[in-house]
């Protein structure tokens, strides 16, 4: 990394992190939906055979962690739509600040925010009955960070491309709902009939969920975990590339 | 050497209803230290031209050198030398006057201490010192504009581009802004390119006017020269003669009520 990119990224990360810290609503709201699932959906699963090793909490909590990242990060683009409307985005693009830093500063703030929310979720899940090895839980946070980086990058790129803010919300919902259902976030795809299981293998997030569930039962060297790491890194690299291109092209 | 020189600078937007030629080909030369007024009817291509000259929008044709650097090949070098204030400004409502001024200095590469000192300097220069710790949404229109300008001046640019800087300001704030633009030129030799719809402003402030219509330059010269060339008593009459848009077409049929 050239020093200016590093410096500019730190500068913008600081700006956005301070803005987030001033807004407790933004910090805690994102964790609300997964918490509701934890309280009112989690207890339904405790006695059910879920077709996976581990108890129901070791299956559900990884899904909720990635749900948090999926919905939180994919809506991240709203903030850039607002910055565009205020003229702040153009004001920054007229300065010599690194274009890549304009993306990375935001994306790293998002990753930090969603990992923080993931920690809260796990802390609440412990008294509910979650038991998992510490290393597995830490690996889970790593996946939340990678997923946030990937989805937030794509979300910012999409928000810059769409002509109106009104089209952004519906577009994201249309993409996020099937992504959630097809990756088996709520219930593992091992319960699915053959065709649905096959279809879900086309959804990259499925590999991430499976990997975190492996980590939560202490399996760190299985193919599922390896695939999860590879897919997460691959998707994140692709997404940051797409995001960078969109930020670099001055027409954005 | 001119500080801006463009040849056939053009921008075509692709829309669902086919291409729209916002700027068809602008040939423009601006000398250092000049105050240049860019005039033209709504939709003439003034803002698009400024957005190209500030590197925000890549041209689809033509070439330009801005502040000694090629606009397309070296936009980063252009950005370091120019300041720009957009029509609607660019203030974040979540920030204070001070935090925006400091952030702007940091974006231009200053370290924390230098940026903080520069923020104080700019605030003193533009009458914002009392407002430094106020949130930006709490500023009046005139105060906002002064802050927008301070942000554009953070790095002491040799060229300042202002898009309708006085739109929506009261007469006192407009006069302040005119004085500031003149002071920038007189004290620092800053070149200023500004767009405006106020012909009195163009007449009073600009050394030279460039009138743009339908994406091309249709006339240029000093306010006095333009008036003389069109036998017009006021700049308003010259402007209407040049753009061919009278306030109301002469209608010979009687008015039916």
CA of A239 vs chain B CAs: smallest distance (Å): 23
Closest CA to A188 of A66, A21, A97: A66
Cα A154 to Cα A245: distance, rounded to the nearest angstrom: 11
Mean pLDDT in residue range A33-50: 88
B96 inside 8 A of chain A by CB: no
- Tell me which residues of chain A, numbers 137 to 166, contact chain B at a CB-CB cutoff of 8 Å: none
pLDDT bin (cut points 50, 70, 90) of residue A189 is confident
- CB B90 to CB A87 under 8 A? yes
Q: What number is the ipTM of this complex?
A: 0.89
Cα B114 to Cα A252: distance, rounded to the nearest angstrom: 31
Paired sense of beta strands B4-15 and B61-66, if any: antiparallel
Mean pLDDT in residue range A182-199: 88
Task: With a cut of 70, list the residues of chain B below it in pLDDT.
Answer: 245-255, 257
Cα A213 to Cα A43: distance, rounded to the nearest angstrom: 18
- Tell me which residues of chain B, numbers 41 to 80, contact chain A at a CB-CB cutoff of 8 Å: 54-58, 75-76, 79-80
Q: Which residues in B lie closer than 8 A to residue A96 (C-beta atoms)?
A: 76, 79-80, 107-109
| Domain-wise residue ranges, chain A | 3-248
Cα B131 to Cα B181: distance, rounded to the nearest angstrom: 22
Cα A236 to Cα B247: distance, rounded to the nearest angstrom: 58
Q: Which residues in B lie closer than 8 A to residue A20 (C-beta atoms)?
A: none
pLDDT at position A252? 37
pLDDT bin (cut points 50, 70, 90) of residue A162 is confident
Contact B190, B159 (CB under 8 A): yes
pLDDT at position B248? 55
In this complex, which of B54, B92, B106 lies closest to A94 when CB atoms are compared?
B54
pLDDT at position A30? 83
Phi, psi of A123 (to 5 degrees): -60, -35
CA of A99 vs chain B CAs: smallest distance (Å): 10
Q: Which residues in A lie closer than 8 A to residue B93 (C-beta atoms)?
A: 86
CA distances in angstroms from B129 to B29, B134, B170, listed in the order given: 37, 10, 21
Cα A50 to Cα B110: distance, rounded to the nearest angstrom: 57
Contact A106, A92 (CB under 8 A): no
| β strands within chain A, DSSP E | none
Contact A5, A98 (CB under 8 A): yes
Contact A15, A111 (CB under 8 A): no
Residue A173: alpha-carbon gap to chain centroid: 14
Contact B66, B238 (CB under 8 A): no
pLDDT at position B121? 95
pLDDT at position B257? 63
CA of B219 vs chain A CAs: smallest distance (Å): 29
In this complex, which of B56, B89, B94 lies closest to A19 when CB atoms are compared?
B94
- Tell me which residues of chain B, numbers 119 to 148, contact chain A at a CB-CB cutoff of 8 Å: none
- Enumerate helices (H) and strands (E) in chain B, giving the number of each: 9, 10
- CB B107 to CB A90 under 8 A? no
Quick one: which H or E segment has residue B181? helix B171-188
- Going by the DSSP 8-state scheme, the letter that residue B154 receives in this structure is T
Q: Which residues in B lie closer than 8 A to residue A83 (C-beta atoms)?
A: 92
Contact A148, A236 (CB under 8 A): no
**Helix-helix angle A78-86:A168-182, to 10 degrees:** 170
- Residues paired with residue B191 on neighbouring β-strands, in sequence order: B159
- CB A94 to CB B92 under 8 A? no
Cα B238 to Cα A169: distance, rounded to the nearest angstrom: 49
Q: Which residues in A lie closer than 8 A to residue B54 (C-beta atoms)?
A: 94
Contact A68, A34 (CB under 8 A): yes
Task: Show the DSSP H helices in chain B as ranges.
Answer: 46-53, 75-81, 97-107, 112-125, 141-153, 171-188, 199-205, 223-229, 235-243
- Going by the DSSP 8-state scheme, the letter that residue A31 receives in this structure is T
Paired sense of beta strands B61-66 and B18-30, if any: unpaired
Count contacts between A and B (CB, < 8 Å): 63
Phi, psi of B25 (to 5 degrees): 150, 100
> Percent of chain A scored above 70 by pLDDT?
98
- CB B82 to CB A94 under 8 A? yes
CA of B107 vs chain A CAs: smallest distance (Å): 6
pLDDT at position A251? 44
pLDDT bin (cut points 50, 70, 90) of residue A19 is very high
The rounded radius of gyration (Å) of the Cα atoms in chain A is 18
| pLDDT tens digits for range A105-148 | 999 999 999 999 999 999 999 999 999 999 999 999 999 999 99
The 3-class SS string of A176-200 reads HHHHHHHCCCCCCHHHCCHHHHHHH
Q: Which residues in B lie closer than 8 A to residue A94 (C-beta atoms)?
A: 54-56, 79, 82-84
Closest CA to B1 of B70, B78, B87, B67: B67
A245 inside 8 A of chain B by CB: no
- Residues paired with residue B65 on neighbouring β-strands, in sequence order: B5, B70
Q: Which residues in A lie closer than 8 A to residue B139 (C-beta atoms)?
A: none
- Residues paired with residue B61 on neighbouring β-strands, in sequence order: B10
| pLDDT tens digits for range A169-185 | 888 888 888 888 889 88
- CB B92 to CB A95 under 8 A? no
In this complex, which of A19, A86, A94 lies closest to B56 when CB atoms are compared?
A94
Domains and CATH numbers, chain B: 4-89+162-243 (3.40.50.300)
In this complex, which of B58, B91, B104 lies closest to A86 when CB atoms are compared?
B91
Q: Which of B103, B148, B153, B155 is the best mutation test for A, with the most CBs of A within 10 A?
A: B103
- CB B54 to CB A22 under 8 A? no
- CB A83 to CB B106 under 8 A? no
Mean pLDDT in residue range A209-216: 94
- CB A11 to CB B107 under 8 A? yes
Cα B246 to Cα B236: distance, rounded to the nearest angstrom: 10
Mean pLDDT in residue range A70-95: 92
Contact B155, B188 (CB under 8 A): no
Contact A206, A231 (CB under 8 A): no
Mean pLDDT in residue range A195-214: 92
Asked if residue A249 has pLDDT above 90, the reply is no
- CB A15 to CB B103 under 8 A? yes
Q: In what order do the strands lie in the sheet with B69-70?
A: B69-70, B61-66, B4-15, B18-30, B216-221, B208-213, B35-39, B191-195, B159-163, B82-85
């Amino acid at each position: 990394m050239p020093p200016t990119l590093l410096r500019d990224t730190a500068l913008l990360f600081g700006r956005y992190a301070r803005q987030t810290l001033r807004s407790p609503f933004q910090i805690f709201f994102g964790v609300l939906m997964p918490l509701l699932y934890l309280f009112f959906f989690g207890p339904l699963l405790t006695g059910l055979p879920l077709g996976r090793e581990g108890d129901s909490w070791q299956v559900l909590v990884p899904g909720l962690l990635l749900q948090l990242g999926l919905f939180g990060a994919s809506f991240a683009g709203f903030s850039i739509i607002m910055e565009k409307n205020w003229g702040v985005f153009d004001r920054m693009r007229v300065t010599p600040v690194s274009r890549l830093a304009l993306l990375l500063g935001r994306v790293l703030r998002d990753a930090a925010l969603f990992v923080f929310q993931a920690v809260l979720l796990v802390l609440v899940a412990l008294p509910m009955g979650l038991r998992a090895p510490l290393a597995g839980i830490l690996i889970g946070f790593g996946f939340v960070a990678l997923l946030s980086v990937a989805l937030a990058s794509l979300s910012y790129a999409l928000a810059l491309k769409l002509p109106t803010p009104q089209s952004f919300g519906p577009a994201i919902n249309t993409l996020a709902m099937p992504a959630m259902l097809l990756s088996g976030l709520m219930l593992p795809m091992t319960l699915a009939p053959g065709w649905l299981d096959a279809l879900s293998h086309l959804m990259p997030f499925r590999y991430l969920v499976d990997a975190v569930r492996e980590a939560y039962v202490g399996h760190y060297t299985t193919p599922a975990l390896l695939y999860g790491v590879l897919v997460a890194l691959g998707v994140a690299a692709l997404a940051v590339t797409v995001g960078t291109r969109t930020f670099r092209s001055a027409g954005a | 050497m001119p500080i801006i020189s463009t040849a056939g600078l053009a921008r075509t937007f692709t829309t669902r209803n086919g291409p729209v030629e916002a700027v068809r080909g602008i040939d423009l030369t601006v000398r250092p230290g000049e105050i240049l007024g860019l005039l033209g009817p709504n939709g003439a291509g003034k803002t698009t031209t400024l957005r190209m000259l500030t590197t925000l929008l890549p041209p689809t044709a033509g070439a330009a050198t801005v502040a000694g650097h090629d606009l397309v090949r070296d936009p980063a070098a252009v950005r370091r030398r120019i300041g720009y204030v957009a029509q609607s400004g660019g203030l974040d409502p979540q920030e204070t006057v001070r935090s925006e001024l400091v952030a702007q200095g940091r974006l231009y590469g200053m370290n924390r201490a230098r940026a903080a000192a520069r923020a104080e300097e700019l605030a003193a220069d533009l009458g914002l010192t009392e407002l430094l710790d106020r949130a930006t949404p709490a500023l009046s229109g005139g105060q906002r504009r002064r802050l927008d300008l301070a942000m554009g001046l953070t790095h002491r640019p040799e060229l300042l581009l202002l898009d309708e800087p006085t739109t929506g300001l009261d007469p006192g704030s407009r006069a302040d802004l005119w004085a500031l633009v003149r002071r920038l030129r007189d004290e620092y030799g800053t070149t200023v390119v500004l767009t405006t719809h106020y012909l009195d402003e163009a007449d009073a402030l600009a050394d030279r006017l460039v009138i743009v219509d339908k994406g091309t330059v249709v006339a240029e010269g000093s306010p006095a020269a333009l008036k003389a060339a069109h036998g017009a008593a006021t700049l308003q009459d010259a402007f209407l003669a040049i753009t061919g848009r009278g306030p109301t077409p002469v209608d010979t049929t009687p008015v039916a009520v």
